[in-house]
Structure 1
Amino acid sequence: MTTKSLSGTQARRWAALGMTAAVLVPLLAACNSKNENDPNNRHTLRIGTMYGSSQDESYFRQQYTDLFEFSHPNIDIEIVPAIDYTETQFDQTPDKPQPDPVEKVKEIMTGDNPVDVMILDNPAILGELVQDNLLKQLDPLLKEDKIDTNDYVSAVIDGIKDQGNGQLYALAPTYSPSALFYNKKAFSKAGVEVPTGSPTWDDVFNMAKRLKTGTGKDTQFGFAFNPYGYGNGYYDVVNYAAPLQLKMYDDKAEKMTVNTPQWQNVWTTITDLYKNHVLPSNEDLQVDQPAATDKDVYNPYLNQPFYNGKLAMVIGSYSMINEIETYNKNYQKFKGMEPLDWDVMPVPTFAENPGVSSYIYLSSLSAINAKAQNPDDAWEFVKFMNGKDWGKLRSRSSYDMPTLKEFIKVKDGMSYNIDAFTQVKPFLSSDSFKQQELQQDRPNLSYIDQLAQVEYNKVIQNQKSVKEALAEFETKGNELLQRIKLNPKGQLDTSGILDDVYGGGGAVGGGGIIKPLID
């Protein structure tokens, strides 16, 4: 795995500081020319966040509010976190329930002094707030100010509208898309044509089978779910199947729902790819390192199959472009490495749910509280945060893509299909918060996830067929659900179910609807 000198968060902080410096002078000049700094006309704009604390407020301000305050000197910004995580940081009560983020957000939006703007890091909460009539619809405001939503990436706008019954209740200045990166040399050598448009998962898996060549140490694998190739079969299933919204148990968490043709197809698809070495397993990617000498240069790409030519296709985030650029500038320094001739196509989606992927992430959604005490300034802030001035600055990010289409450009000195990053909508589960409430009431539901891993591993290890494993998962799961119902929290008796693997214990967390897991 490549070792980075700066973490993603650190890089974003330096980028934010750089952007602030770049525009500070012209913004101040503009403010002075308007003579808006009237002490008799000062007012406060309250901005809510899902999580925060006084310690990291300065970072949030650098990211979102400093420039707005410079350009609107008569407005003071107050940051109000729904959950101050420092309040429970040192809580040593093991069974104490964690605060419900949905309810906490609603509290700061409906209290005696409600926030004016809400910044949502979890977009799935948007639909919940819309359903409860807590947000102001933005479509009339956009129309009045002649802001054309066609200027934004349509996949992002449509994804947000999906949470608002076809209407816009929030905007996002950036998003984190992924794409399917592929090795052009591998495609050419295998005689595989690159599909036009957005491929389905079946398209990708069929190509992967044709791209897989060789055996043992000479194997070139067809596809992997992440750039490093390393995978865990069960969690690959989780991310892959998320848009299908298959449930492991019913809405009351009383009966398993896994022994179905749909689940059998999902498990069979991924396990067959692993067993046929189309998808690399962790064991497949073990590389025997030669004995190092003082003259040897450490090769961080030796165990990265997409860079060393052993992997034809991989799902990677937008920031992977930077990593490829670094590799192609430095590959000569490492013995046996070749330049990477690559391009991207849109991430695959299901034919049953086309154009939607769990590998597209939305965050920093800005919405106006329906009960805002300062709605005019709230709209000014949302406009600014999602406008062209701020969009131009955010377009310099190496990690996120701007939602304004005019700032989406191929990186200087490179050539690739940048439209591949804009074709697919984010998957947002409509039932995610119902499941979250259920899991908070019964945190021992995490044991169902653990049981899923145990049964799936039996398939990977050829101990059971998929059909047999799902039947056993159903039987043991039903017994486990009844025990969880009687004992939803604390230590759970898992004898006869998980005791052979976990000794009767396990971690708390998990879920009922299969949903994407983010590293």
Structure 2
Amino acid sequence: MMKRNKLMLLTLSMMLLIPLLTACGGEAKQNEQERTLRIGVLYGGGDEQHIRQEYTDIFEYMNGNISIEIVPAVDTSEYNYSDSAGPDPTEEMRKLLTGANPVDVAIVDSDSFQQYVRDGQFKQLDALIQKDGFDTSDIIPSVMDTIKMMGDGNIYGLAPTFSSKALYYNKTLFQKAGVELPTDSMTWDEAFELARRVANGEGKDRTYGFSFDQYRWGTAFYGVADYAAPLQLRTYDDKAEKMAINTPQWEKVYDTIAKLSQDNIMPGRKDDDNGGSLGEGRYNPLEHDLFLSGKVAMMMNYYSYTSELFDISKNAGKIKNYQMPEWDVVTIPHHPEAPGISSGMRFDSIMAINTQAQNPDDAWQFVQFINGEDWAKIKSRSTYELVTRKSFIKPKEGMNYNIQSFYAMKPAPGIPAEEKLHQKYRNLWIVKNSAEELFKKRIEGKLTTADMLKQWETKGNQLLPMIKKNPNKSIFGDEAVQKAVYGD
């Protein structure tokens, strides 16, 4: 009798438990259902290894039921052997966002990100962040401020990494010259005054005070863009029909940089003979690096350059007659008209959710993970960029430098009207580059800065209609274009 009662109780318990197990099993089965997350990228084709290694492999490993499909807006392999510049990646990505089989997530740069936000093609993330308690307090303030600025005060995407520049300086050269070391938050005038005081020597023994990059064959002309970006100066009008370069503000910019080159404070003078070799005729990997060869006291460069310095420090003893410079970094100088703003920060991988995403839940899970603490902790040791979470930004192992200088400044905002023009007319680079020869003549004293800008204005006004007629097809070799750029 007792056994029978126990059996009845067991049977009753199982009957009550079965519906619960069935419900749980159904829920588990639903959670384990195979799903695809489509991720759009601006450029790709053929080799997806970088995107997968950097972002998706670890997510797929941790979410075995989700498979990632990488969808490039432009397959660059199709245009390697063509004279066409290829389609506009921003427009092609827009097709991926709005087409019959839209991508769920887009990984884009800051320029195109702003366009998609304005067009309402990215989902606002503020409510999701609040609902899930996703912690953004550890993300660098200048990064979050920039993301919000691009979204008119709201968050439409998150960036796990960023590139930024700082001002590298050679302590040894400053100490030898008896000049105080650079500091954070200098103005450009203060930095250039230090550059004049620390520059020294003649010919092969010349050491420069400042350079916009480390390359011996570089010119100051291309550094002007970095110097001028925070000032928000226009190159042409909103329709790319007329040049806007011939102004007192631009004259001051180019005159400042030209004088520094002309006075041999920075590289660029034609008669400069600073080509000394460290290896006595033998190839030397440092020979064309002005900073590593001790030929420049201050130099702008990206955070990734610390990796080169790290490698050289480990192998300096193998290079004959070489002494590794003692170095550190400070923030990029700023203009008094734009305090605390520099041109050195860039976002190449902002992650956003498509408003038409077919799989929005997994899309948000992916964006959270790649912008979360676990991913930042892992990638902070391996990426050539900086992670955006402050807690995991540290100098490379065994090194000691002012790493905060890479993110202390706010990035210079772009000029939306010109950004749109460059996406629509990708040959506009010809207009900007057409002034390089004129700038060299200015450094050589053959032109005044005012004359240089007048001639550039004339060149640009000739080139703009040609470019608008052929916005994407490569036209640099065209005879009329060559004549406008170089003259008869």
One fold, TM greater than 0.5?
yes
Distance across 2 between alignment mates of 1:405 and 1:39: 34
Q: Does 1:101 align with 2:89?
A: yes
Q: Give the residue type in structure 2 aligned to 1:109.
A: L
What corresponds to 1:375 in structure 2?
360
Q: Does 1:448 align with 2:431?
A: yes
Task: Please report how far the alpha carbon of residue 165 of structure 1 lies from its aligned counterpart in structure 2 after TM superposition.
Answer: 1.1
Q: Give the residue type in structure 2 aligned to 1:185.
A: T
TM-align CA RMSD: 2.7
Q: Does 1:463 align with 2:449?
A: no
Distance 1:211 1:105, change over 3 A: same
Moved more, 303-312 or 220-229: 303-312
Q: Does 1:112 align with 2:105?
A: no
Which segments of 5 or more consecutive residues in structure 1 lack a partner in the other structure? 1-34, 504-519
Name which of 303, 306, 310 aligns with 1:321.
Answer: 306
Name which of 115, 134, 140 aligns with 1:153.
Answer: 140
Moved more, 324-333 or 490-499: 490-499
Deviations 1:55-101 (A, max 9, x none): 2134422221121122122222222222223344444xx4x573121
What corresponds to 2:60 in structure 1?
69
Give the secondary structure class of the aligned counterpart of 1:362.
coil
Which segments of 5 or more consecutive residues in structure 2 lack a partner in the other structure? 1-26
Task: Please report how far the alpha carbon of residue 224 of structure 1 lies from its aligned counterpart in structure 2 after TM superposition.
Answer: 0.9
Distance across 2 between alignment mates of 1:419 and 1:446: 33
Task: Please report how far the alpha carbon of residue 107 of structure 1 lies from its aligned counterpart in structure 2 after TM superposition.
Answer: 0.9
Task: Please report how far the alpha carbon of residue 212 of structure 1 lies from its aligned counterpart in structure 2 after TM superposition.
Answer: 1.2
Contact 1:124 1:428 in 2 (8 A): no
Distance 1:110 1:138, change over 3 A: same
Name which of 239, 242, 245 aligns with 1:252.
Answer: 239
Deviations 1:458-512 (A, max 9, x none): 2122111111221222234334445656777754535874454xx6xxxxxxxxx
Contact 1:198 1:423 in 2 (8 A): no
TM-score (norm 2): 0.85
Distance 1:37 1:359, change over 3 A: farther
Q: Does 1:475 align with 2:464?
A: no
Distance across 2 between alignment mates of 1:339 and 1:107: 51
Distance 1:232 1:383, change over 3 A: same
Contact 1:123 1:428 in 2 (8 A): no
Distance across 2 between alignment mates of 1:487 and 1:407: 47
**Correspondence 1:329-348 to 2 at 5 A:** 329-348=314-333
**Correspondence 1:372-411 to 2 at 5 A:** 372-397=357-382, 399-411=384-396
Q: Does 1:52 align with 2:47?
A: no
Q: Give the residue type in structure 2 aligned to 1:285.
A: N
Task: Please report how far the alpha carbon of residue 363 of structure 1 lies from its aligned counterpart in structure 2 after TM superposition.
Answer: 1.6
Task: Please report how far the alpha carbon of residue 450 of structure 1 lies from its aligned counterpart in structure 2 after TM superposition.
Answer: 4.1
Give the secondary structure class of the aligned counterpart of 1:493.
helix
Give the secondary structure class of the aligned counterpart of 1:149.
coil
Distance across 1 between alignment mates of 2:362 and 2:87: 30
Distance across 1 between alignment mates of 2:184 and 2:29: 52
Contact 2:168 2:298 in 1 (8 A): yes
Q: Give the residue type in structure 2 aligned to 1:287.
A: G
Distance across 2 between alignment mates of 1:227 and 1:495: 30
Identity between Structure 1 and Structure 2 (%): 44
TM-score (norm 1): 0.80
Q: Give the residue type in structure 2 aligned to 1:435.
A: L
Task: Please report how far the alpha carbon of residue 138 of structure 1 lies from its aligned counterpart in structure 2 after TM superposition.
Answer: 1.5
Task: Please report how far the alpha carbon of residue 172 of structure 1 lies from its aligned counterpart in structure 2 after TM superposition.
Answer: 1.4
Q: Give the residue type in structure 1 aligned to 2:250.
A: W
Distance across 2 between alignment mates of 1:88 and 1:333: 42
Moved more, 153-162 or 351-360: 351-360
Distance across 1 between alignment mates of 2:422 and 2:314: 45
Distance across 1 between alignment mates of 2:444 and 2:419: 35
Distance across 2 between alignment mates of 1:392 and 1:289: 40
Give the secondary structure class of the aligned counterpart of 1:48.
strand
Deviations 1:374-426 (A, max 9, x none): 21111100011111111111111251111111111122222211111121233
Distance 1:321 1:482, change over 3 A: closer
Give the secondary structure class of the aligned counterpart of 2:435.
helix
Contact 2:235 2:245 in 1 (8 A): yes
Task: Please report how far the alpha carbon of residue 111 of structure 1 lies from its aligned counterpart in structure 2 after TM superposition.
Answer: 1.5
Moved more, 261-270 or 460-469: 460-469
Distance 1:472 1:89, change over 3 A: closer
Moved more, 460-469 or 193-202: 193-202
Distance across 2 between alignment mates of 1:448 and 1:197: 35
What corresponds to 1:439 in structure 2?
425
What corresponds to 1:236 in structure 2?
223
Give the secondary structure class of the aligned counterpart of 1:343.
strand
Contact 1:36 1:73 in 2 (8 A): no
Distance 1:373 1:397, change over 3 A: same
Q: Give the residue type in structure 2 aligned to 1:436.
A: H
Contact 2:216 2:290 in 1 (8 A): yes
Distance 1:271 1:433, change over 3 A: closer
Distance across 2 between alignment mates of 1:303 and 1:143: 51
Deviations 1:85-137 (A, max 9, x none): 3344444xx4x5731212111111112221111111x2111111110111111
Task: Please report how far the alpha carbon of residue 354 of structure 1 lies from its aligned counterpart in structure 2 after TM superposition.
Answer: 3.1
Deviations 1:427-449 (A, max 9, x none): 45223441124415xx4x45423
Q: Rg bigger for which structure?
A: 2
Task: Please report how far the alpha carbon of residue 151 of structure 1 lies from its aligned counterpart in structure 2 after TM superposition.
Answer: 0.3
